[in-house]
Each structure stands twice: as structure tokens, then as C-alpha cells.
């Protein structure tokens, strides 16, 4: 971070010039250098320089927090959001935790987007909280959300209210994604909450669609952007107490087994990872979910669930909806 005048009291143009002459240009340079030495070189009082150093440090460092205080804060601000599907909730240890990133990974047609729609609808309608949905694949349609809502309630007012709680952003490159996340982080979150209900969930479908094209080759730029996206998502999750759900594609490892995409450097980012796969036998809506990374449940647990759960009708509309479902599945 470059030193500039007015950054703190006592740091005026003259001092800046003498510091630059002594090869001190950034805040880090100033903080790392020997103050006594520097005071002599720039003919400034030791006390003044020491005070400036102290102010700069206080402005720019992260403050230590006691573990007990942090724990208290988390106890009061963390919430668990049910996904609406009991089998998934079992895997996730009751649901999506705020302050954490959960990842859904799977091949094409494995139902990641459908699960995201279902979660968004459940949170907006049942839990009455706002959801931000960032769509990078173009797979989100208001019709589909409405369809799912129509099986929950026949009241059009309630449907509209729930739809209003789902705020969508459609972007197709990583720059736009970063801008959107920074904008939300820098106060956009409050503007987005309208009609009560704070934002409790952020869904990015899919994060690999914008990052995967940048990886490979010389690797520098792409990896750095990926880490920036990771940092932005984590900051959003922690600072605003939001549950972040992202989707990722899969690749095959050298030994032939299926593994989540985006490589080793992304694998530390989500706290929990679930792999979705089609079930060979059974109805077309059946999927199996395997927990491949979790800090709460130690073993690899597998659960079968029904993609049609979020749109389950009371019985009579079952036939119609399954027909429409087949059409949408081939899109994802």
C-alpha cells in the first residue's frame, strides 16, 4: 500500500519526500524499517515517526479477537437453513450453515441446478428469507421457480412475495462476478433486501463455469482470479452471516475416479462438498448424494433422494409435473 500525504496526522508532503529519498514508499516499508535509523536519515523526531507508525499499523492491521468472544458471536449469529429435502439435510447435518460455503458437484444432468432452485424456493417461501441467486449458465428461469412455488401454495400473492425474495443476477464472466460480489459486500446487500427478510443465502450456479475457462496454460492469472472469488465468497459468508451454496463440475482423476473440478487450490474453499450422481435404476428423478468433504461428519455417507421432492404435489398433479420435469432435466 503506497504512502500518501494525509493518510494519518503528521504525514505531510515534506516528510513523504524525505521518506521517498530513504527508499520508503509503502506502508509495509515504513513499518518494517528501523525507526531510529529512519528518524536520523530523514531528520525527523523519533517520537513523531514512531507515532505515525503506530497509527498506520492501527489503521491497517486485522484486530485480534479472543476465542471466547468469537464463539459467543458465532453462537448468536449462525443459523442453519434447511434445504427442504430431508435426505440432503441429513447429509449436511441439518442444513446449510450460515458463514460457510457448501459445494454441490456433479456431472451434467446430475441435478445441481434443480437442487439450487429447490433450495432457493424453500428458503424464500418456507423460511421467508431473501436469497441472492447468481446464475452464470443461463439455466434459471422464473417459470421454473413459479412452477415449484405453485406446488407449495395456490395463493398467487404468496407466490409473488416469495418470488420477490429471490434476487437474481445473470453474469457470464469472472470480472462481472467479482464486481457483483464486491458490490453486494460494499452495501449492496441492504439495497437488495426489500419487503422484509434479510439475505440469508447466496447461491452461485455455477462457479466453475466462469473460472474453468481461465485455468490451464501459464496458470497465473486464472488461479489468482479464482482465489479472489473464493476470498469474496468467504468474506460475504462470514461478515454477513450468509449461507453460500456453489456448484462445480467434475473431472476424472488419473486413476479414473470422479472428482470435483477446479483443482487442488479450490478444494480448500468449500467447508462441505456433496457429489451428485444419477442413480442407474429407478425413476428418472432419483439421484444419489455422497458427502465427500465435511468438518462435522467424519465418514463418506451416501443418501438417495428424489429431485422431484421440491415439486411434490399433493397427489393429483404428480403425472403432469413429472412430464415437465423431464423436459427441464435435459437442459441442465
Residue 71 binds another protein (CB under 8 A): yes
The answer to whether 203 and 116 have CB atoms below 8 angstroms apart is yes
Residue 145 or 237 having the CB closest to another protein: 237
Residue 231 or 283 having the CB closest to another protein: 231
Instruction: Look at residues 53, 272, 297, 247 and name the one whose alpha carbon lies nearest to residue 137.
Output: 247
Judged by CB under 8 A, which stretch of 3-11, 112-120, 142-150, 231-239 contacts another protein?
Answer: 231-239
**From the CB of 113, what's the least distance to another protein, in Å?**
25
Phi, psi of 278 (to 5 degrees): -75, 145
**From the CB of 131, what's the least distance to another protein, in Å?**
22
Among 12, 158, 179, 221, binds another protein (CB under 8 A): 221
Among 6, 68, 186, 319, binds another protein (CB under 8 A): 68
Residue 160 binds another protein (CB under 8 A): no
Burial of residue 328, with CB atoms counted within 10 A of its CB: 0-12 exposed, 13-18 middle, 19 or more buried: middle
Residue 321 binds another protein (CB under 8 A): no
Phi, psi of 315 (to 5 degrees): 135, -55
Burial of residue 150, with CB atoms counted within 10 A of its CB: 0-12 exposed, 13-18 middle, 19 or more buried: middle
Residue 12 or 28 having the CB closest to another protein: 28
Residue 299 binds another protein (CB under 8 A): yes
Residue 319 binds another protein (CB under 8 A): no
Among 23, 76, 252, 264, binds another protein (CB under 8 A): 264
Question: CB within 8 A of 247, min separation 6: which ones?
Answer: 103, 104, 105, 106, 112, 113, 116, 204, 205, 206, 207, 208
Judged by CB under 8 A, which stretch of 55-63, 169-177, 184-192, 279-287 contacts another protein?
Answer: 55-63
Judged by CB under 8 A, which stretch of 14-22, 111-119, 206-214, 224-232 contacts another protein?
Answer: 224-232
Instruction: Look at residues 271, 247, 241 and name the one whose alpha carbon lies nearest to residue 129.
Output: 241
Question: CB within 8 A of 299, min separation 6: which ones?
Answer: none
Judged by CB under 8 A, which stretch of 61-69, 139-147, 152-160, 181-189 contacts another protein?
Answer: 61-69
DSSP state of 62: P
CA distance 127 to 50: 53
The answer to whether 189 and 169 have CB atoms below 8 angstroms apart is no
Residue 232 or 313 having the CB closest to another protein: 232
The answer to whether 169 and 181 have CB atoms below 8 angstroms apart is no
Residue 35 binds another protein (CB under 8 A): yes
Among 18, 137, 228, 290, binds another protein (CB under 8 A): 228
Residue 33 binds another protein (CB under 8 A): no
**From the CB of 69, what's the least distance to another protein, in Å?**
8
Residue 205, C-alpha cell as written in the block: 450456479
How far lies 185's CA from each of 88, 115, 182, 225, in Å?
Answer: 29, 25, 5, 17
**From the CB of 11, what's the least distance to another protein, in Å?**
16
**From the CB of 42, what's the least distance to another protein, in Å?**
17
By CB under 8 A, name the binding residues for another protein: 1, 27-28, 31-32, 34-36, 57-58, 60-68, 70-71, 74, 78, 220-221, 223-224, 226-228, 231, 234-235, 237-238, 253, 263-265, 267-268, 271, 293, 295-296, 298-300
Amino acid at each position: 500500500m503506497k504512502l500518501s500525504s494525509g493518510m494519518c496526522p503528521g504525514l505531510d508532503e515534506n516528510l513523504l519526500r524525505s521518506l521517498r529519498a530513504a527508499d520508503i514508499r509503502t506502508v509495509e516499508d515504513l513499518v518494517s524499517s528501523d525507526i531510529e535509523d529512519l528518524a536520523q536519515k530523514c531528520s525527523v523526531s523519533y517520537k513523531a515517526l514512531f507515532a505515525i507508525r503506530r497509527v498506520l499499523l492501527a489503521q491497517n492491521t486485522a484486530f485480534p479477537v479472543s476465542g471466547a468472544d468469537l464463539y459467543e458471536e458465532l453462537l448468536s449469529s449462525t443459523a442453519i437453513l434447511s434445504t427442504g429435502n430431508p435426505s440432503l439435510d441429513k447429509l449436511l447435518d441439518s442444513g446449510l450453515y450460515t458463514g460457510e460455503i457448501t459445494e454441490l458437484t456433479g456431472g451434467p444432468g446430475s441435478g445441481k441446478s434443480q437442487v439450487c432452485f429447490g433450495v432457493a424456493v424453500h428458503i424464500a417461501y418456507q423460511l421467508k428469507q431473501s436469497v441472492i441467486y447468481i446464475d452464470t449458465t443461463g439455466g434459471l428461469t422464473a417459470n421454473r421457480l413459479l412452477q415449484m412455488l405453485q406446488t407449495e401454495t395456490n395463493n398467487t400473492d404468496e407466490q409473488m412475495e416469495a418470488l420477490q425474495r429471490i434476487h437474481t443476477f445473470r453474469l457470464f464472466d469472472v470480472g462481472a462476478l467479482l464486481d457483483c460480489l464486491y458490490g453486494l459486500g460494499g452495501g449492496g446487500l441492504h439495497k437488495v433486501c426489500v419487503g422484509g427478510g434479510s439475505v440469508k443465502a447466496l447461491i452461485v450456479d455455477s462457479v466453475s463455469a466462469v473460472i474453468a475457462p481461465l485455468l490451464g496454460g501459464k496458470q497465473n492469472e486464472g488461479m489468482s482470479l479464482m482465489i479472489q472469488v473464493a476470498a469474496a465468497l468467504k468474506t460475504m459468508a462470514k461478515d454477513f452471516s450468509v449461507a453460500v451454496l456453489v456448484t462445480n463440475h467434475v473431472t476424472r482423476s488419473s486413476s479414473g475416479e470422479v472428482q470435483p473440478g477446479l483443482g487442488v487450490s479450490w478444494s480448500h474453499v468449500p467447508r462441505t462438498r456433496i457429489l451428485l450422481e444419477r442413480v442407474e435404476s429407478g425413476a428418472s428423478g432419483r439421484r444419489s448424494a455422497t458427502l465427500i468433504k465435511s468438518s462435522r461428519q467424519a465418514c463418506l455417507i451416501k443418501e438417495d433422494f428424489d429431485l422431484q421432492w421440491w415439486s411434490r404435489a399433493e397427489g393429483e398433479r404428480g403425472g403432469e409435473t413429472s412430464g415437465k420435469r423431464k423436459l427441464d432435466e435435459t437442459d441442465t
